[in-house]
Amino acid sequence: MKVGLIQHAVESTKEKTLAKTVSLIEKAAKQGAELVVLQELHQDRYFCINEDVDCFDLASSWEADIAFWSGIAKANTVVLVTSLFEKRSAGLYHNTAVVFEKDGTVAGKYRKMHIPDDPGFYEKFYFTPGDMGYNPIQTSVGKLGLLVCWDQWYPEAARLMALKGAEMLIYPTAIGWFDEDAEDEKKRQCDAWETIQRGHAVANGLPVISVNRIGKEADNHGVLDGIRFWGNSFVAGPQGEIIVRASHDKEEVLIVEVDLERGEHVRRIWPFLRDRRIETYGDLTKRFID
């Protein structure tokens, strides 16, 4: 199966960003992509860099956004993984990934479960943790284990998706560093981000698709200098091997062949699921063990 990864910076307005994203999807489809994955909150700037109640207005277009991306999936005959700001009710919002089938129908959605709250990443102010569990989404190209950004640091989430039959793990992402960080610290952060996800591939015998944005986005309140998103979107195979990796600062459409049958072979030679000692894992449901 051919997968298209869309890595780009945002434009000055939502409308310009949408136009760019659509053109990149069209480019991926023309190159044969059957599955196209977009980055986290791809429609606009990363507004979680600060806490601003006016930003909740960005979710007011939820229904219109669903209709828009449905049309794009259908027009390009691709399974499309999007990442949108969902308004469920007044005061109740989610960071929600929606998957569209090739005919534009909604195949399923996933509400981000793990919500960060760090300088420049104030997502707890905006998003209620997901309440849909970890359930793969069945599509015409396979069963997608869809998770979002901060979820990628949690092996429990990847494992539960694998146990429920996911054929691949997909992580739309928005992660970056601060320019004032030391160069060695930047490298450690980016390396850790990639390593943890490659570990999920190995532990579960599944390919991993991770798509991050690029570019520096300013803090419109002027408190922080801004976030420089580090790109490096990649696909890893079921033994953690890097199949393709984007640059840290270039807009790219990556087209890559993903062999879902290879996961079956890897699981036969590395039968980690067989050897799990599930009767010993009860403490994993505790916050901490004193």
Which residues are catalytically annotated?
40, 112, 149
User: d(Cα 20, Cα 6) in Å, to the nearest integer?
Assistant: 10
Instruction: Please tell me the distance from the alpha carbon of residue 72 to that of residue 4, in angstroms, as a whole number.
Output: 14
Contact 100, 93 (CB under 8 A): no
Distance CA 200, CA 237 (A): 10
Do β-strands 2-7 and 35-37 pair in parallel, antiparallel, or remain unpaired? parallel
Residue with structure tokens 């919002």? 93
- Other CB atoms within 10 Å distance of the CB of residue 262: 15
The two beta strands, 208-211 and 168-172, are parallel
Number of CB atoms found within 10 A of residue 192's CB: 11
Which tokens in the block code for residue 30? 């023309």
CA separation for the pair 249, 216 (Å, rounded)? 9
Q: Beta strands 214-217 and 79-89: pairing type? A: unpaired
Gap between the Cα atoms of 170 and 148, Å rounded: 8
